[in-house]
Structure 1
């Protein structure tokens, strides 16, 4: 049996939905400000925010617990526990934001991950109180116990990121598997005006949007969770035409694939297009987020 088979069983355990689903609904009810949600997802930095913040929170706790094993480091360890507790607030908020837009299997693992993380933070809070009261021995024990629980939670978090691909860029492969040469995708007349249209080039799905003689082309799969963007709707954001993901409402700019709103953080791959003799051609020529030319 592989070490992580039990986590896969956890992801397939529907009984967790009794807790996971209400938690998701509560977060979505509270997180209604789109700008705040974008920040928590990491849209401004083009990368999920939660994993970056975890480095500060968990790193502070781990460092504090290591210092607790050394003589003469009580004050430094206490400072690090305080840093970890303060940084835990935005870390938790970013994690719940990502959780609210995850699929069911991810949420089942995620709710256990959240419970273990909450236990760790609570344990370090008690540890800090014990330090302030001068009870160094109890403080160290609470910290080490909290770290043990938090380490198990960290394993679940890594499983969600690397095994379940929560927060991963699901459109990363397009520049590697798309056509390098100009490739015919049909006649211009076949494309409806102003409506997302799906085409397949080799093994690559493309979504095309026609505006007169101009064609915009993006990778069809949303970078957040592989939703088919060809099923999405067009909208206008800040004067720019955009495509809205049909699953989680991420918004991508048609001109360059840039993420306007999350939960997606990675841009959609763009494809240069041209019309020759009434036929539309495209190719991969840029990395996602770089305007096609």
Structure 2
């Protein structure tokens, strides 16, 4: 394997997760899930007679997402250090990081402008802000997928992956329905 490409597969330090087991992709589930749920709460707050609990729930989901994004960003930054500079993968990583930081700032602003406890539905400005941020999150997620699945950043090399597809002496080419349960 090319030495430059091998560098992007190895963690800079063990804190970022072991070889083939980066922590960043696992941690991004927290902000993604929290922010999608907050948007659902935002919309639902316009559909129910007593929306206060949804408005408050959305605000706290945004806060949870911001905290989760900051944690994920720390590990993502360590992964970015593993990518050789001057490469397409590195430029993609910088764009991925920049969009995600912008999205996190938008959500932090959204949290602040929502203020304290609310009895009514989420206002249109915070709702639109969340929609824009969620669209940015989708673009950043696409770029993150490109880093992992197209460029193989922090993914184990093909020889290591191939070990998972080696059949054992007891394996069969077909598995019966009973063997699955």
The reply to whether TM is greater than 0.5 is: yes
Structure 2, unaligned runs of 5 or more: 1-11, 46-50, 169-181
The equivalent residue for 1:115 is: 98
Higher alpha-carbon Rg: 1
Structure whose residues are more often helix by fraction: 2
1:78 partnered with 2:59: yes
Alignment RMSD (CA, Å): 2.4
Distance across 2 between alignment mates of 1:167 and 1:117: 19
| Residues 46-65 of structure 1: pairs in structure 2 closer than 5 A | 47-65=21-39
Distance 1:176 1:97, change over 3 A: closer
The equivalent residue for 2:14 is: 38
Say which structure, 1 or 2, has more relative contact order (CA 8 Å, 6+ apart).
2
Cα shift at 1:138:
1.9
Contact 2:23 2:75 in 1 (8 A): yes
The equivalent residue for 2:130 is: 143
Distance across 1 between alignment mates of 2:17 and 2:103: 24
Normalised to the residue count of structure 1, the TM-score between the two structures is 0.45
Structure whose residues are more often strand by fraction: 1
Contact 1:117 1:153 in 2 (8 A): yes
Distance 1:66 1:156, change over 3 A: same
1:87 partnered with 2:87: no
| Residues 195-274 of structure 1: pairs in structure 2 closer than 5 A | none
Normalised to the residue count of structure 2, the TM-score between the two structures is 0.71
Distance 1:176 1:91, change over 3 A: closer
* Number of equivalenced pairs: 142
Distance across 1 between alignment mates of 2:42 and 2:72: 24
Distance across 2 between alignment mates of 1:38 and 1:151: 29
Distance across 2 between alignment mates of 1:38 and 1:114: 21
Distance across 1 between alignment mates of 2:72 and 2:149: 19
Cα shift at 1:53:
0.4
CA deviations 1:202-257 (Å, max 9, x no partner) are: xxxxxxxxxxxxxxxxxxxxxxxxxxxxxxxxxxxxxxxxxxxxxxxxxxxxxxxx
